[in-house]
């Protein structure tokens, strides 16, 4: 049977990503799926996220990023959706549930437009960075499908932290939330 391009790209990443089957990877994925842990991890990196509507954040594990033409780009370990709010005073859209970051108005409401209910973020889990270039290429590909400034890498391997962050990928590490283990 002839393989489609979709299948082969998908298999390329999965085969390349042998860490997917390591106990470490599973442990980190299961940890992040436990209630409260994603919030601990993300707020350890960006304090403004403390005011997100965490009760209604949705976590999708192993969900595909699909292009407009239906092409399956790949599946980050976690895609999470953060509810959007709209300021009734200045109409700014934001994720802050306390007040509008633009005009400080507290007259805010969940975004009424179905298309704009959520901001999407992804977290890729790599216990160890086996190959910096390959990992960066994979994450940049995901980012190019609408995840600018919304890309996280969860790893125990901090050797390339500065390089990833310089490329717009925030590096998450469990030690930043270790006090809560």
Please report, as ranges, the residues that interact with Zn ion according to CB under 5 A: 87, 89-90, 92, 100, 102-103, 105
Instruction: Tell me how far, at minimum, the Cβ of 88 lies from Zn ion, in Å.
Output: 8
Instruction: Tell me how far, at minimum, the Cβ of 104 lies from Zn ion, in Å.
Output: 7
Instruction: Tell me how far, at minimum, the Cβ of 109 lies from Zn ion, in Å.
Output: 11
Instruction: Tell me how far, at minimum, the Cβ of 113 lies from Zn ion, in Å.
Output: 17
87 or 177: CB nearest Zn ion: 87
85 or 122: CB nearest Zn ion: 85
2 or 113: CB nearest Zn ion: 113
Instruction: Tell me how far, at minimum, the Cβ of 89 lies from Zn ion, in Å.
Output: 5
- Residue-by-residue DSSP string for the chain: -PPPHHHHHHHHHHHH-GGGGSHHHHHHHHHHHSTTHHHHHHHTT-GGGGGS-GGG-EEEETPPEE-TTS-EEE--SEEEEEE-EEETTT--EES-SSS-TTT----EEE---GGGSEEEEEEEEESS-S-HHHHHHHHHHHHTTT-TT-EEEEES--TTHHHHHHTT-EEE-GGGGGGG-
30 or 103: CB nearest Zn ion: 103
37 or 102: CB nearest Zn ion: 102
């Amino acid at each position: 049977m002839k393989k489609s391009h979709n299948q082969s790209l998908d298999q390329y990443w999965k085969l390349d990503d042998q860490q997917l089957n390591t106990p470490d990877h599973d442990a980190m994925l299961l940890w992040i799926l436990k209630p409260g842990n994603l919030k601990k991890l993300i707020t350890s990196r960006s304090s403004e996220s403390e005011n997100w509507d965490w009760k209604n954040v949705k976590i999708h594990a192993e969900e595909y990023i699909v292009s407009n033409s239906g092409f399956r780009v790949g599946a980050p370990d976690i895609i999470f959706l953060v509810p959007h709010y709209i300021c009734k005073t200045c109409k700014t859209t934001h994720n802050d549930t306390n007040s509008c970051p633009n005009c400080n108005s507290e007259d805010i409401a969940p975004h009424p437009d179905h298309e704009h209910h959520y901001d999407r973020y992804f977290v890729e889990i790599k216990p160890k960075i086996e190959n910096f270039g390959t990992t960066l290429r994979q994450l940049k590909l995901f980012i190019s499908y609408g995840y600018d400034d919304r890309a996280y890498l969860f790893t125990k391997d901090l050797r390339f932290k500065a390089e990833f962050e310089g490329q717009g990928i925030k590096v998450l590490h469990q030690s930043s939330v270790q006090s809560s283990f």
